[in-house]
């Protein structure tokens, strides 16, 4: 019954050297299969968080909750579980941990029994003033049950002097700073809202007359729901038995959607902020080929996230697209506690170079980004070991030079390869014959813009530029240090 999680079920073979999206959310109101549909939606959003999942439903009288460490499919597919989550409305959440340790208490949705009824909240993003607010709340007598940002929101709602739950939620919104796309369930309403910069995604859909609020359109596809529109930055959507309504409590919301969602986080079959992710990635690959051509024999994607850009690169360059790196799909929780022998073999557990193909060839490797550079180094070496004549690395994003504070798990700046080295040094570090990144403007061009608007950039690109659109309250005040007094085993 101990709650520690020893290992994550990562899926991308090089996932440990990637940035990580923190969460996926799903809410549905007015469907007799609410919990089953929420489970499916969360399954479609599994790439946004594999550590834990939870669903809270409401049946008109009671709330029902099930949370579990691990994947949605492993924990929410039995008839028993789905039947226990009664009712026509549900909110669910996939978790990838950043703030808060990996115990069941820290799995969302969070539920609280407030004076005028229950409230369940599921949240994707990160508050930048959570620590500051938490200290104030504790000083006033609030008792926290978790170490999650989301609980700050719940306490603000509980302490609001407003009467109606939605007014209390809006009240809370005015106190928090940060990136947040959240769905909340009361005994009568499903509420969705996005921060005023719209950093994290949230879309509205519909199925059999029931409304859905979720992180990406792929969670609508899996259940055959219709995509309606993106929720707007700063918009609050309320769904109840009278229908749907929208308010915008913020006066000047300004869209700064996370550009990395298009580069890596979102599923290629999702449409986010009106663009096909697959299409954008192929476009980036084409632009990358225009900016950084090279004479070579084959374009090889680093699986799986580099594949669409590699297809675009191959099309633009006229070079053949080839599967030069074969991925072992059976990694699962593989080799959790490897022996030293196994550990030294490293990345080979997860893939293999296609020697018969690579031998003697000049290859272009296409990947989406470089974070620490450890994986790129291993891949270049593996491809060389397989006999490549030349290895040219092409990256479908600009150099990642800054940490994210808006709900993405990034290493500290000093661990980002591009924060330490220039491109030549990086090329030497990873051992490639050449290394190029798409330019910042080129990236915007590939997104359909004329280029980056330096005054008010069209996207949040802080990880490439260090221009943070939202105040880093805790970080700047030094309040973001450890809050946990209790360690559980």
Active site residues: 23
Q: Is 40 in the site for a copy of itself (CB under 8 A)?
A: yes
Task: Name the one range near a copy of itself by CB under 8 A: 104-112, 236-244, 429-437, 466-474.
Answer: 104-112
In angstroms, give the least distance from the CB of 484 to a copy of itself. 8
The per-residue DSSP string of 81-144 comes to: HHHHS-SSEEEEEEE--SSS-SSGGGPSSEEEEETTEEEEEEEEEEETTHHHHHHHHHHTT---
Distance CA(19)–CA(405), nearest Å, equals 12
Task: Name the one range near a copy of itself by CB under 8 A: 17-25, 61-69, 172-180, 417-425.
Answer: 61-69
In angstroms, give the least distance from the CB of 52 to a copy of itself. 9
Distance CA(239)–CA(264), nearest Å, equals 31
Distance CA(71)–CA(92), nearest Å, equals 13
Out of 18, 20, 71, 93, the only residue in the binding site for a copy of itself (CB under 8 A) is 71
Annotated binding-site residues for [4Fe-4S] cluster read: 258, 404, 460, 463
Per-residue x/- track, 200-239, a copy of itself (CB under 8 A): ------------------x--xxxx---------------
Tell me whether residue 114 or residue 244 sits nearer to a copy of itself (CB atom).
114
In angstroms, give the least distance from the CB of 234 to a copy of itself. 26
Q: 332-336 long-range contacts, Cβ below 8 Å, gap at least 24?
A: 332/9, 333/7, 333/9, 336/6, 336/7
Quick one: tokens of 237? 């959507």
Annotated binding-site residues for Mg(2+) read: 305, 367-368
In angstroms, give the least distance from the CB of 197 to a copy of itself. 25
Nearest CA to 9 out of 56, 65, 53, 70 is that of 70
| Window 340-369: residues binding a copy of itself (CB under 8 A) | 341-342, 345, 348-349, 352-357
Q: Is 6 in the site for a copy of itself (CB under 8 A)?
A: no
How would you class 479 by CB atoms within 10 Å of its CB: exposed for 0-12, middle for 13-18, buried for 19 or more?
A: middle
Q: How many residues contact a copy of itself, by CB under 8 A?
A: 113
In angstroms, give the least distance from the CB of 297 to a copy of itself. 14
Q: Is 11 in the site for a copy of itself (CB under 8 A)?
A: yes
Quick one: tokens of 309? 């850009």
Residue 53 in contact with residue 68, Cβ under 8 Å?
Answer: yes
Tell me whether residue 276 or residue 439 sits nearer to a copy of itself (CB atom).
276
63 CA to centre of own chain = 27
In angstroms, give the least distance from the CB of 315 to a copy of itself. 7
234 CA to centre of own chain = 19
Out of 248, 335, 421, 433, the only residue in the binding site for a copy of itself (CB under 8 A) is 335
| Window 406-465: residues binding a copy of itself (CB under 8 A) | none
Nearest CA to 27 out of 242, 269, 195, 237 is that of 237
Strand 203-207, strand 210-214: pairing: antiparallel
Which residue's entry shows tokens 């030549």?
Answer: 424
Tell me whether residue 59 or residue 291 sits nearer to a copy of itself (CB atom).
59
Nearest CA to 279 out of 45, 108, 448, 425 is that of 448
Q: Is 77 in the site for a copy of itself (CB under 8 A)?
A: yes
The per-residue DSSP string of 310-357 comes to: HHHHHHHHTPPB---EEE-TT-TTTTSS--HHHHHHGGGGTEEE-HHH
Q: Is 163 in the site for a copy of itself (CB under 8 A)?
A: no
Per-residue x/- track, 262-301, a copy of itself (CB under 8 A): -----xxx-x----x-xx----------------------
Q: Is 154 in the site for a copy of itself (CB under 8 A)?
A: yes
Annotated binding-site residues read: 258, 305, 367-368, 404, 460, 463
Out of 328, 454, 466, 476, the only residue in the binding site for a copy of itself (CB under 8 A) is 328
Distance CA(51)–CA(44), nearest Å, equals 15
In angstroms, give the least distance from the CB of 39 to a copy of itself. 7
């Amino acid at each position: 019954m101990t709650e520690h999680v020893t290992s994550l079920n990562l899926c991308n073979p090089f996932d440990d050297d990637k940035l990580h999206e923190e969460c996926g959310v799903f809410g549905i109101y007015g469907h007799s299969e609410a919990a089953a549909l929420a489970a499916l939606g969360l399954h479609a959003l599994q790439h946004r968080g594999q550590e834990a999942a939870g669903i809270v439903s409401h049946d008109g009288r009671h709330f029902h909750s099930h949370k579990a460490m691990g994947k949605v499919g492993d924990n929410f597919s039995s008839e028993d579980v789905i039947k226990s989550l009664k009712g026509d409305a549900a909110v669910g959440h996939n978790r990838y941990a950043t703030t808060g340790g990996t115990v069941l208490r820290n799995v969302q949705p969070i539920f609280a029994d407030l004076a005028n009824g229950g409230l369940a909240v599921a949240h994707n993003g990160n508050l930048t003033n959570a620590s500051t607010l938490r200290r104030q709340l504790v000083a006033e007598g609030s008792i926290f049950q978790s170490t999650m940002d989301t609980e700050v929101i719940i306490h603000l709602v509980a302490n609001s002097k407003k009467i109606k739950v939605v007014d209390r939620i809006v009240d809370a919104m005015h106190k928090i700073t940060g990136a947040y796309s959240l769905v909340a369930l009361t005994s009568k309403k499903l509420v969705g809202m996005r921060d005023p910069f719209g950093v994290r995604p949230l879309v509205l859909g519909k199925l059999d007359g029931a409304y859905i609020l979720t992180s990406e359109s792929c969670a609508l596809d899996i259940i055959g729901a219709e995509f309606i529109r993106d929720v707007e930055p700063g918009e609050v959507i309320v769904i109840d038995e009278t229908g749907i309504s929208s308010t915008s409590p913020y006066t000047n919301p300004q869209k700064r959607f996370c550009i990395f969602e298009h580069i890596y986080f979102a599923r290629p079959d999702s449409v986010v902020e009106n663009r096909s992710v697959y299409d954008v990635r192929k476009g980036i690959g084409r632009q990358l080929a225009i900016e950084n051509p090279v004479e070579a024999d084959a374009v090889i994607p680093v699986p799986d996230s580099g594949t669409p850009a590699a297809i675009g690169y191959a099309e633009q360059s006229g070079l053949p697209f080839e599967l030069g790196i074969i991925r072992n799909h059976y990694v699962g929780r593989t080799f959790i506690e490897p022996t030293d022998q196994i550990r030294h073999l490293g990345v080979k557990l997860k893939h293999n170079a296609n020697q018969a193909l690579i031998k003697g060839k000049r290859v272009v490797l296409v990947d989406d980004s470089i974070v620490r550079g450890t994986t790129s180094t291993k891949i270049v070496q593996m491809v060389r070991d397989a006999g490549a004549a030349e290895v040219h690395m092409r990256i479908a994003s600009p150099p990642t030079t800054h940490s994210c504070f808006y709900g993405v798990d990034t290493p500290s700046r000093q661990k980002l390869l591009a924060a330490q080295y220039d491109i030549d040094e990086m090329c030497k570090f990873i051992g490639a014959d050449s290394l190029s990144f798409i330019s910042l403007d080129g990236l915007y061009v590939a997104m359909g813009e004329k280029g980056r608007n330096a005054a008010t950039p069209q996207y949040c690109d802080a990880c490439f530029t260090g221009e943070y659109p939202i105040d880093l309250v805790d970080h700047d005040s030094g309040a973001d240090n450890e809050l946990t007094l209790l360690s559980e085993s």
